[in-house]
Amino acid sequence: MRVLLVEDEPKLNLSIKKGLEQQGYAVDNVFDGTEAELLATSEDYDLIILDVLLPGQDGYAVCRKVRDFGIETPILFLTAKDALEDKVNGLNLGADDYLVKPFAFEELSARIRALLRRPKKAIPELLASGNLVLNTLTHQVTLREKEITLTLKEFQLLEYLLRNKNQVITREQLVSHVWDQHFDSFSNIIDAHIKNLRKKLKGDYAKKLETVRGVGYTFRE
Ligand code: CA
């Protein structure tokens, strides 16, 4: 899951980024409203965390422009303002949730999970193909009821491929959902991770993870 984080307080920004990365999210973090609009309308995110008071333009303006652009990515507002009026303002502009500062990281994390679980995005907790089961909450992967140990990136790659079974996923799509914007998409690190993943899956399940020559990969069921 790839998250755009917009927060101008450097310490808070970096601590949220770090916390989310530890939970397995790929996080692009920016510190002003102008850059936020640029990224939100040009990159593909699964969630946007948006502070209200920002240099450049405020979070409300960013939210309105993103929605006007036709982007339906869930938006979670962060703000020090807790007036009812502000909440109503944000929600009217198309935000999905609202968190008042200061907040505990666990609270943010719970809100994010709730937003990502919404039926519109249809994200199940268990992703499976035959005897291969991936639990998105506990990060456990089992094959024929035996747990297999994956690195974080291998897990994220497998998760994305299982969510999009039988579809051809380009290397660019994998990069944008599993790595942050600074990743060099021409490097062959994806292929290396896929190779390791196949080794761990073994036999017929490794074969399901097909290479689509010149394009990317698909998890064939
Ligand atoms: Ca701020």
Exposure string of 170-186, with b = 16+ CB inside 10 Å and e = fewer, is: ebebbbbbbbbbeeeee
Q: Are residues 20 and 75 in the same domain?
A: yes
pLDDT of residue 35: 97
Q: Report how far ligand 1's centroid is from the alpha carbon of 99 (Å).
A: 13
Looking at the fold, whether 207 and 116 belong to one and the same domain comes out as no
**Residues 80, 15 share a domain:** yes
Domain hosting 25: range is: 2-121
- Alpha carbon of residue 90 to chain centroid: 22
Q: Could you tell me if 108 and 95 lie in one domain?
A: yes
| Cβ atoms < 10 Å from Cβ of 108 | 17
User: How many angstroms separate the alpha carbon of residue 54 from the centre of ligand 1?
Assistant: 5
14 CA to centre of ligand 1 in angstroms:
13
User: Is residue 130 located within the same domain as residue 115?
Assistant: no
CATH number, position 144: 1.10.10.10
> End of a domain among 98, 121, 144?
121
Kindly state whether residues 37 and 109 are assigned to the same domain.
yes
Judge contact between 129 and 208, C-beta under 8 A: yes
CA–centroid distance, 179 to ligand 1, in Å, is: 26
Of 88, 106, 121, which marks where a domain is finished? 121
Ligand 1 centre to CA of 100 (Å) is 12
Cα 76 to ligand 1 centre (Å): 14
Give the residue from 154, 155, 158, 131 showing the smallest Cα distance to 219: 158
Domain shared by 182 and 131, yes or no: yes
- Where does a domain end: 121, 137, 158? 121
- Compute the chain's Rg from CA coordinates: 19
> How many angstroms does the Cα of residue 9 sit away from the middle of ligand 1?
6
Q: What is the pLDDT of residue 177?
A: 82
Confidence (pLDDT) at 90: 67
Cα(30)–Cα(50) distance, rounded to whole angstroms?
10
Overall domain count for the chain? 2
Q: Global pTM?
A: 0.57
Tens-digit pLDDT string for the chain (221 aa) = 899 999 999 999 999 999 999 999 999 999 999 999 999 999 999 999 999 999 999 998 999 999 888 888 999 999 876 655 666 666 667 788 888 888 999 999 999 998 888 765 444 467 888 889 888 777 889 998 889 999 988 999 999 999 899 999 998 888 888 877 666 656 678 888 999 999 999 888 999 999 999 889 999 98
Beta pairing partners, 6 = 30, 50
Output the CA 8–ligand 1 centroid distance in Å.
5
